[in-house]
Chains A and B, each alone.
Chain A
């Protein structure tokens, strides 16, 4: 290990990064595009769900409840007395659900007899069906509370549960998605970019020229690792700034810990990138492997979009080996909760271990010759 040789490789790599528009694109432009997409295009919140309210009763409370549905912003409701017309709409997918306010609703309410509301939903889209179900339940519960207060009724409130949402009270999905997007961005820089740059050296024949000099494999690996580590941290800083300052996602933890967890995740991502590029010696294959081994798992199996706890057990085991999962846990807790050392430290330790393992393997697999 000789510092001057490392410095030569380091400055070479930096110049190449600066001169290659694609690395600037991946490190600085792509993150901003991803953040914008996750802010505006991908939203897990549902508004303006089209439903039908069947008003079979003509009493004042029944009409008041129907009015509550009409006024709610989650729903775009149409009211009718006849349910048959809407069944066809539900089948055709024009509406997402039907809420039925049954005959003699007002009368039964007066007598203190309360049945749960009947809600018909379209189960072919389970996610949406759940939303309709839950929102309708919510509208009913709120209306019932107000009704009790107005009429001075003494009936026990129906809702079996009362929901209080911690950490993200507005249930804004971008507060949850944008921090997760950071993991995706760091995967792109850490794994995709590094996987490409080493295989490019093989393709262009520069690796052969490097190997014929006095350079050692440690110098070679560090010469790749350090520049891209710095690039990744720079991109992380930019993305965090954009998320907090421009898109107003709350941040409740410490920046130091954010930096530290970002650094260990980047370490593991770079490890994977370098590993891929030593195995695949051409850019096309490296790119394919990077997408399959890093990008897709970070997107699908990290808890970023899909909840891990609702996956089959064997997939959950796979999720457990993906570093992005641990980084996303750290990110969610730092952005939405605050510093929770008991959670952060083991997660960071795992990412560091994965990085060390992959880099160790890469070092062993890196040959100082062409064999």
Chain B
């Protein structure tokens, strides 16, 4: 297979910081290659290097035989590029955007109309030509962005995280659209932080912390884990406690909660595991081999996940295991004019439960969330935390609550220690109490080497820890997490969930919003939010069970999501 893009020992530095470190790779012609890695791994930089928007500090990138940076003019029209930030004009209509990019790509006048029609049909946007791009849904915006980057018929298509902020249905559509383009001539680079997308690519480049960890077909990577992944099912008792115990066993390099089961990855040199060798004969019924996933392989390359011990949770006093209702939504409604952002949302969360609000962007997750923690006033209905309505009660009730916002809301200009002090102050911790809690956080999260570093300069994983530390420093009884681990590396995500699981063990109640299916698996119960309504509520296994059918015998969380949303759309249409 001839290579269309040859990347030869490139290095890219920004003001002394290394963004790409000695990377050699190639993209095969006519293939789709996944560029996979967590945020900050260097994916965007690599894409910009390939289309010549950046020049490498060392090494060369050759596209179709030309130097990408120095001979960029010769590559005009050869590359189609869709940047991460959408890159379209929100105040122009769909057609005006297409027209603008057609002319900028030098598409000849006589060919434009034909290409427009083809693109509009391809993207199913023909009905919306007169609509402003800013008024399109997230999925439609991405389709329009894709259409614009395809004008001028490029031979190489570079897509920078097209799946970000898009619901799973639109993501699948985008995926099949791009696959339809692969006619042997078109070469595609698809960057993503969703590891499940990587599995579907013909070839992947796996980036982490500016280094290339793997290049080749994903099956080659997952193949290394053949026979090393098991599902522990039929668990009696607390699966979170069991997971924490198993993660500390030698030979277990990774483990996650998957609904009511545990998914475990074993070290290459570990003896064939059994219920007996793990010492869980009394806790679980069966241990069955399952297909390894890309994420398992990623963790394996990184040397395995963290252990099961949470030094953070050890600082918490256990709360009474009384099964009391800690948070509840009573027919919550929020309207903005004629738009209903949340429509009759109802649920109760018991102490020590992880409750998830799962749904696409704009479905009403955050609105519901904000009404619960008293940041938004419901149009009707009420919300309570620990029996108090936060809309009306004072700061004492609010002290019971820890909140971790979607974009880590630490101050970039303050260093790590100053951030901790600031948040301690906000929660009313003073004097010796304050110092004790701050020291506790520094120990629990191993912050010592970073105390003087500005929060803005911290590695993403450390920022994630800092955000959690700031949210739990005052030992809240209820923890609100708004998309807490989007874009972070799987190891960081494991570490985060180790803490959360251990906190829940102590009786802390967790409410989480997410559009990550993996995160949904950690929840005890999930409310699937779509168009302002909770269209389904239940345990992850119950939701999956709801959509089980002959053509989908073993549905994943994503399958469940998609089918339940489609079902809701059908009901809406028939009404």
Report which of A7, A19, A369, A370 forms a contact with B103, defined as CB distance below 8 A: A7
**In the complex, what distance in Å separates the CA atom of A2 from the CA atom of B103?**
10
Report which of B48, B85, B104, B106 forms a contact with A370, defined as CB distance below 8 A: B48
Contacts of B77 in A (CB 8 A): 214
- Whether A16 contacts B89 by the Cβ 8 Å rule is yes
**Of all chain B residues, which has the CB nearest A2?**
B106
- Interface presence of A5 (CB below 8 A): yes
**In the complex, what distance in Å separates the CA atom of A215 from the CA atom of B52?**
14
**In the complex, what distance in Å separates the CA atom of A209 from the CA atom of B101?**
9
Among A48-56, A161-169, A200-208, the one that faces the other chain is: A200-208
- Chain B interface size, as a band, is 20 to 34
CB distance from A202 to the nearest CB of B (A): 10
- Whether A209 contacts B87 by the Cβ 8 Å rule is yes
- Whether B100 contacts A8 by the Cβ 8 Å rule is yes
- Whether B104 contacts A215 by the Cβ 8 Å rule is yes
- Whether A206 contacts B87 by the Cβ 8 Å rule is yes
Beyond A214-B105, A214-B106, whether A12 also contacts B100 by CB under 8 A is: yes
* CB under 8 Å from chain A, chain B span 30-58: 48, 51-55
* CB under 8 Å from chain B, chain A span 169-221: 204-206, 208-215
Report which of A4, A205, A368 forms a contact with B87, defined as CB distance below 8 A: A205
- Whether B54 contacts A12 by the Cβ 8 Å rule is no
- Interface presence of B92 (CB below 8 A): yes
Report which of A5, A15, A210, A213 forms a contact with B91, defined as CB distance below 8 A: A15
**Of all chain B residues, which has the CB nearest A8?**
B103
Report which of B76, B82, B99, B104 forms a contact with A210, defined as CB distance below 8 A: B104
- Interface presence of B90 (CB below 8 A): yes
Contacts of B51 in A (CB 8 A): 212
* CB under 8 Å from chain A, chain B span 138-176: 148
**In the complex, what distance in Å separates the CA atom of A368 from the CA atom of B81?**
15
**In the complex, what distance in Å separates the CA atom of A204 from the CA atom of B84?**
10
- Interface presence of A20 (CB below 8 A): yes
Among A8, A9, A208, A213, chain B packs the most CB atoms within 10 A around the CB of: A213
* CB under 8 Å from chain A, chain B span 444-488: none
- Whether B92 contacts A12 by the Cβ 8 Å rule is yes
Beyond A205-B85, A213-B104, whether A16 also contacts B54 by CB under 8 A is: no
- Interface presence of A113 (CB below 8 A): no
**Of all chain B residues, which has the CB nearest A216?**
B73
**Of all chain A residues, which has the CB nearest B82?**
A209
Contacts of A368 in B (CB 8 A): 72
Contacts of B54 in A (CB 8 A): 369-371
- Whether B106 contacts A4 by the Cβ 8 Å rule is yes
**In the complex, what distance in Å separates the CA atom of A369 from the CA atom of B71?**
12
Contacts of B81 in A (CB 8 A): 209, 212
- Whether A212 contacts B91 by the Cβ 8 Å rule is no
CB distance from B458 to the nearest CB of A (A): 22
- Whether B103 contacts A4 by the Cβ 8 Å rule is yes
Report which of A15, A208, A214 forms a contact with B92, defined as CB distance below 8 A: A15
**In the complex, what distance in Å separates the CA atom of A46 from the CA atom of B53?**
61
CB distance from A206 to the nearest CB of B (A): 6
Contacts of B86 in A (CB 8 A): 204-205
**Of all chain A residues, which has the CB nearest B79?**
A212
- Whether A8 contacts B104 by the Cβ 8 Å rule is yes
Beyond A5-B106, A369-B52, A369-B72, whether A213 also contacts B87 by CB under 8 A is: no
**In the complex, what distance in Å separates the CA atom of A210 from the CA atom of B91?**
16
**Of all chain B residues, which has the CB nearest A368?**
B72
**In the complex, what distance in Å separates the CA atom of A213 from the CA atom of B80?**
8
Contacts of A211 in B (CB 8 A): 53
- Whether A204 contacts B90 by the Cβ 8 Å rule is yes
Report which of A4, A5, A12, A213 forms a contact with B89, defined as CB distance below 8 A: A12
Interface string of A1-37 (1 = CB under 8 A from B): 0101101110110011001100000000000000000
- Whether B103 contacts A15 by the Cβ 8 Å rule is no
**Of all chain A residues, which has the CB nearest B45?**
A370
Interface string of B238-270 (1 = CB under 8 A from A): 000000000000000000000000000000000
Interface string of A30-70 (1 = CB under 8 A from B): 00000000000000000000000000000000000000000
CB distance from A60 to the nearest CB of B (A): 78
* CB under 8 Å from chain B, chain A span 205-259: 205-206, 208-215
Interface string of A358-371 (1 = CB under 8 A from B): 00000000001111
**In the complex, what distance in Å separates the CA atom of A212 from the CA atom of B82?**
9
Contacts of A12 in B (CB 8 A): 89, 92, 96, 100
Contacts of B76 in A (CB 8 A): 213-214
Report which of A11, A204, A371 forms a contact with B85, defined as CB distance below 8 A: A204
CB distance from A267 to the nearest CB of B (A): 26
**In the complex, what distance in Å separates the CA atom of A368 from the CA atom of B88?**
19
- Interface presence of B555 (CB below 8 A): no
- Interface presence of B273 (CB below 8 A): no
**In the complex, what distance in Å separates the CA atom of A369 from the CA atom of B70?**
11
| Residues of A in contact with B (beta carbons under 8 Å apart) | 2, 4-5, 7-9, 11-12, 15-16, 19-20, 204-206, 208-215, 368-371
In the complex, 6 of the A-B residue pairs with CB atoms within 8 angstroms, ordered by the A residue number, are A9-B100, A12-B89, A12-B100, A205-B87, A213-B104, A371-B55
Q: Given known contacts A5-B103, A368-B72, what 5 new A-B pairs fall within 8 Å (CB)?
A: A19-B91, A205-B83, A206-B88, A209-B148, A371-B54
A-B pairs with the 4 shortest C-beta distances? A205-B85, A209-B87, A8-B103, A213-B104
